[in-house]
Amino acid sequence: MLNAETKRRIDNARDILVGKVPDPKTQVEQITFAMIYKFMDDMDQISVKLGGKASFFNNGYEGFAWSKLMDKKLSGSQRLDLYVRALEGMANNPHIPQLFRDVFKGAFLPYRDSETLNLFLKEMNGFTYDHSEDLGDAYEYLLSIFATQGKAGQFRTPRHIIDFIVDCVDPDMHDSVLDPACGTAGFLISAYKHITEKHRDDPLTPDQKQRLTENFVGYDISPDMVRLSLVNMYLHQFPNPTIHEYDALTTEDRWDETFDVILANPPFMTPKGGIRPHKRFAVRANRSEVLFVDYIAEHLNVGGRAGVIVPEGIIFQSSNAYKALRKMLVEENYLYAVVSLPAGVFNPYSGVKTSILLLDKDLARRAERVLFVRVEQDGFDLGAQRREIEQNDLPEALAAVKAFQADLAMEPENSARAWAVEKARLGEDGDYNLSGERYRQVVLVSQKWPMVKLKECCKFIRGVTYSKKNEVEEKGNIILRANNIDITKNSLDLSDLKMIDKSIKLGDDLLLKENDIFICSASGSKEHIGKVAFINEDLPYYFGGFMAVIRCNEKVNPKYVFELLKSPIFRTHLNHSILAVNIRNLKSSMVYDFSIPFPPLEVQQEIVDEIEGYQKVIDGARQVVENYKPVIPIDPDWPLVKLGEVCETTSGGTPLRSITEYYEGGTIPWLRSGEVNRGYIEESELFITEMGLNNSSAKIFPINTVLVAMYGATAGQVGLLKFESSTNQAICGILPNDQYIPEFLYYFLLSKTEYFVEISGGGAQPNISQRIIKELLIPKPNISDQEKIVEALESERSVIELNKTLIERFETKIAARIQSVWGAG
Higher pLDDT, 819 or 791: 791
d(CA 725, CA 682): 10
Q: What is the pLDDT of residue 447?
A: 54
* Mean pLDDT value across residues 789-794: 90
Confidence at 581, pLDDT banded by 50, 70, 90: very low
C-alpha distances in angstroms, 816 versus 437, 438, 569? Answer: 5, 5, 12
Higher pLDDT, 430 or 242: 242
d(CA 56, CA 93): 8
Higher pLDDT, 77 or 45: 77
Q: What is the pLDDT of residue 697?
A: 92
| Residue 686 confidence (pLDDT) above 70 | yes
| Enclosing H/E stretch for 716 | none
Q: What is the pLDDT of residue 150?
A: 40
Higher pLDDT, 816 or 421: 421
* Mean pLDDT value across residues 674-703: 88
* Mean pLDDT value across residues 180-208: 91
- Nearest to residue 185, comparing CAs of 256, 135, 258, 234? 234
> By mean pLDDT, which of 21-30, 519-528, 681-690 is the weakest?
519-528
Q: What is the pLDDT of residue 343?
A: 81
Reported residue count of the chain is 825
Higher pLDDT, 125 or 306: 306
| Residue 642 confidence (pLDDT) above 50 | yes
Q: What is the pLDDT of residues 119-165, one digit of tens each?
A: 999 998 887 765 445 566 676 677 666 543 344 344 567 888 999 99
Q: What is the pLDDT of residue 765?
A: 65
| Residue 305 confidence (pLDDT) above 70 | yes
Q: What is the pLDDT of residue 633?
A: 87
With both helix axes pointing from N to C terminus, report the angle between 186-198 and 206-213 in degrees, rounded to the nearest 10: 150
Amino acid at position 500, single letter: I
CA dihedral (762, 768, 772, 774) positive or negative:
positive
Q: What is the pLDDT of residue 825?
A: 39
* Mean pLDDT value across residues 189-216: 92
Higher pLDDT, 351 or 419: 419
Q: What is the pLDDT of residue 102?
A: 84
Q: What is the pLDDT of residue 274?
A: 60
Q: What is the pLDDT of residue 580?
A: 39
Q: What is the pLDDT of residue 516?
A: 95
Torsion of CA 178, 180, 184, 189, to 10 degrees: -10
536 near 514, Cβ under 8 Å? yes
Confidence at 348, pLDDT banded by 50, 70, 90: low
| Residue 778 confidence (pLDDT) above 60 | yes
| Residue 522 confidence (pLDDT) above 80 | no
Q: What is the pLDDT of residue 153?
A: 40
Q: What is the pLDDT of residue 384?
A: 61
Higher pLDDT, 249 or 577: 249
Confidence at 246, pLDDT banded by 50, 70, 90: very high
Q: What is the pLDDT of residue 2?
A: 54
Confidence at 275, pLDDT banded by 50, 70, 90: low
Average pLDDT, the chain: 86
Higher pLDDT, 141 or 738: 738
* Mean pLDDT value across residues 551-557: 94
609 near 696, Cβ under 8 Å? no
Q: What is the pLDDT of residue 428?
A: 80
> By mean pLDDT, which of 46-55, 256-265, 383-392, 770-779 is the weakest?
383-392
d(CA 526, CA 581): 10
* Mean pLDDT value across residues 279-294: 88
Query: Cβ contacts of residue 221 below 8 Å, gap of 6+?
Result: 181, 245, 246, 247
Higher pLDDT, 320 or 655: 655
* Mean pLDDT value across residues 730-741: 91
**DSSP codes of every residue in 190-207:** HHHHHHHHHTSSSPPPHH
Q: What is the pLDDT of residues 435-463, one digit of tens each?
A: 887 776 444 445 578 889 999 999 999 98
| Residue 261 confidence (pLDDT) above 70 | yes
Q: What is the pLDDT of residue 349?
A: 59
* Mean pLDDT value across residues 249-273: 85
What is the percentage of the chain residues whose pLDDT exceeds 90? 44
In 436-594, DSSP assigns E strands to 451-453, 458-462, 471-472, 477-480, 485-486, 491-492, 498-500, 517-520, 522-523, 532-534, 542-543, 547-552, 584-585
Q: What is the pLDDT of residues 360-412, one digit of tens each?
A: 999 999 999 999 999 988 888 766 667 788 889 999 999 999 999 999 988 88
d(CA 270, CA 274): 6
Higher pLDDT, 179 or 797: 179
| Residue 611 confidence (pLDDT) above 70 | yes
> By mean pLDDT, which of 48-62, 130-144, 272-286, 770-784 is the weakest?
130-144
